[in-house]
Amino acid sequence: MQYMFLIYGNEKAEATTTPEEGQAEMQAYFGLNAEARAKNVYVVAEALHPTSSATSVRSRDGKLMTTDGPFAETREQLGGFYILNCKDLDEAIEWAGKIPGVKHGTVEIRPIVDFSAPQN
């Protein structure tokens, strides 16, 4: 089944990393991508611009309202994601442990709904 891995981290703290540290982290992500592809679990992965670039949109009574900023102000912000194809949650937890951001932030695992599977 497919799982989405939402990578949360503290943007403020991440902004203070040195170029060397940033490079090392990028290399770690490239390594993870290669491993996930080689093991045939990779579906997609992307990094996101900081929440300062976020725009939130809602429609009420047919009127579109657009505001600056993320959906919610939180201590850690969504910075990127993976979608991987895993056998079960245990395998997904193992992959989550390999995502470089797990060392300073939090990785949230969300199973993706399979519309061909039985629903309630």
Interface residues with another protein (CB under 8 A) are 1, 3, 86-90, 92-93, 109, 111, 116-120
Q: Closer to another protein by CB, 21 or 88: give it.
A: 88
CB 112 within 8 A of CB 89: no
Q: How far is the CB of 4 from another protein (least distance, A)?
A: 12
Phi, psi of 73 (to 5 degrees): -80, 115
- Distance CA(86)–CA(94), nearest Å, equals 10
Q: How far is the CB of 32 from another protein (least distance, A)?
A: 19
Q: How far is the CB of 51 from another protein (least distance, A)?
A: 27
- Distance CA(29)–CA(38), nearest Å, equals 14
